[in-house]
């Protein structure tokens, strides 16, 4: 029965889900019409909101492109590639491969979401090369399912914002929070640890159970998995010898090492996005050996960032329309949040906060952006009902993570590495969405 449900989910998504670009275009038009009807704003006004938002994620898009490029270049370095292949040889069956990649992605995303996306993708490729008969789309979907835990982990933007304090936190919470709330009250509470543990236990087993019968298995195209290594540069002239100088590469790595030793000594295990990119970059330079060889590897890696470059501005435009307010200060995102508040009681508020955040995340797929939209609305409402602000905040955080399973925005870097499209994996991700939704909703209803 479960196998049939999974098969129908996969077939439905492959049949009806458009390409990632077309999906973003249709979502743009849907939000445009909905916001015009809901907030009473004119077409020119909504187009202005769209245009104003269109360029707001350029810095973040560059970070995501660098996460992809530096992570892919590191994974393609000969020492790392050989290590991954040895690890990928440990599973003896497709089921074991699915469990392994899910656990690797879960651990990676709990530590840092950017690291988890990359390490899950490169591990999926390595496993597909080593394990015969494993379903490649499910393997990649399993790697992406690890992303579910990111906002309950060490790089979660909302719990880190609560821990940072300051005037910005007071502003986003509409004055409800005026002092920092440490991670012991957010990430390391029984509620958050229970959700995380249930996902760590359940997702590998769920993904394993979804593996299709051998007759329906879609193995990866060998050409798709072939590693394209950069050509060895010539060393015939003084300039070419400088380009391929190991000493120069090691000097740059040594400079970075001095910085990161000082950084971690002062900041602890604070893996911001720029820190992860830097670690990928200089580790890749070290593993490739010379600046010229690393640059040639980056030239190969950069071919996969088309989705990031094209789609991120469109999602930024959607966010602009969601957050664009009329003369009375009413936006579509505010209306959605307020509707859930109106249905809430003290007992149901954490659950409905989670569900509202999941809905808003489909249109505003950014943890920081969603916090800015929903924080000023949900936190005062929760306080009025007697719900602790950290509970409301974590409900928003988990809602933001939950519907990433049906939102291809965050899958783009991973899909670029593995060479698949969103429709190849979203049928499996839909099943993961239902399981994780039941787990998280149940915990917020019974434990919050």
Q: What percent of the chain has pLDDT over 70?
A: 97
319 to 6, 150, 327: CA distances (angstroms): 32, 21, 18
Q: What angle do CA 13, 18, 24 make, to 5 degrees?
A: 120
Residues 189-232 have pLDDT tens digits of: 999 999 999 999 999 999 999 999 876 888 887 766 766 666 67
pLDDT at 373: 84
- The total of structural domains in the chain comes to 1
Any residues with CB less than 8 A from the CB of 308 and at least 6 apart, and which? Answer: 61, 64, 65, 68, 412, 413, 416
Helical residues (DSSP H) of 76-212, grouped into ranges = 78-88, 94-111, 113-130, 136-145, 157-164, 167-172, 190-209
- Pick 446 or 238 by higher pLDDT: 446
Q: What value does the mean pLDDT of the chain take?
A: 90
What residue numbers bound the domain in which 150 lies? 2-446
List, for residues 118-164, the tens digit of each pLDDT value.
Answer: 889 989 999 999 999 999 999 999 999 999 999 999 888 898 889 88
Mean pLDDT for 170-187 is 90
The whole-angstrom separation of Cα 367 and Cα 241 is: 46
Instruction: Give the length of the chain.
Output: 448
């Amino acid at each position: 029965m479960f196998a049939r449900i999974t098969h129908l989910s996969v077939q439905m998504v492959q049949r009806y889900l458009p390409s990632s670009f077309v999906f973003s275009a249709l979502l743009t038009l849907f939000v445009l019409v909905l916001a015009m009807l809901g907030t009473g704003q004119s077409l020119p006004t909504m187009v202005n909101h769209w245009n104003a938002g269109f360029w707001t994620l350029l810095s973040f898009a560059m970070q995501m492109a660098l996460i992809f490029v530096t992570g892919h270049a590191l994974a393609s370095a000969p020492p790392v590639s050989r290590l991954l292949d040895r690890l990928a040889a440990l599973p003896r069956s497709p089921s074991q491969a699915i469990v392994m990649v899910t656990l690797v992605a879960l651990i990676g995303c709990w530590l840092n979401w950017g690291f988890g996306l990359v390490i899950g993708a490169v591990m999926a490729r390595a496993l597909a090369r080593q394990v015969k008969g494993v379903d490649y789309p499910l393997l990649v979907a399993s790697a992406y399912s690890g992303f579910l835990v990111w906002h309950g982990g060490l790089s979660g933007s909302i719990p880190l914002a609560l821990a940072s304090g300051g005037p910005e936190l007071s502003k986003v919470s509409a004055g409800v929070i005026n002092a920092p709330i440490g991670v012991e009250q957010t990430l390391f509470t029984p509620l958050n640890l229970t959700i995380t543990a249930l996902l760590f236990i359940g997702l590998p087993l769920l993904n394993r159970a979804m593996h299709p019968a051998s007759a329906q298995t879609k193995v990866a195209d060998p050409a798709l998995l072939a590693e394209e290594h950069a050509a060895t540069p010539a060393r015939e002239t003084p300039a070419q010898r400088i380009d391929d100088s190991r000493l120069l590469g090691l000097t740059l790595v040594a400079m970075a090492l001095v910085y990161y030793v000082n950084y971690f000594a002062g900041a602890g295990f604070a893996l911001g996005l720029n820190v992860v990119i830097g670690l990928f970059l200089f580790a890749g330079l070290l593993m490739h050996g010379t600046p010229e060889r690393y640059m040639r590897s980056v030239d190969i890696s950069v071919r996969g960032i088309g989705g990031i470059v094209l789609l991120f501005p469109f999602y930024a435009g959607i966010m602009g329309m969601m957050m664009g307010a009329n003369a009375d200060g009413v936006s579509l995102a505010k209306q959605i949040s307020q509707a859930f508040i109106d249905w809430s009681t003290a007992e149901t508020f954490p659950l409905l906060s989670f569900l509202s955040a999941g809905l808003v995340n489909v249109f505003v797929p950014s943890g920081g952006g969603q916090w800015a939209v929903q924080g000023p609305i949900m936190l005062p409402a929760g306080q009025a009902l007697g719900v602790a602000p950290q509970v409301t905040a974590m409900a928003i955080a988990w809602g933001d993570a939950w519907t990433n399973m049906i939102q291809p925005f965050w899958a783009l870097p991973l899909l670029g590495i593995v060479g698949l499209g969103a429709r190849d994996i979203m049928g499996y991700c839909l099943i993961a969405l239902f399981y994780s939704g039941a787990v998280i909703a149940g915990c917020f209803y019974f434990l919050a």
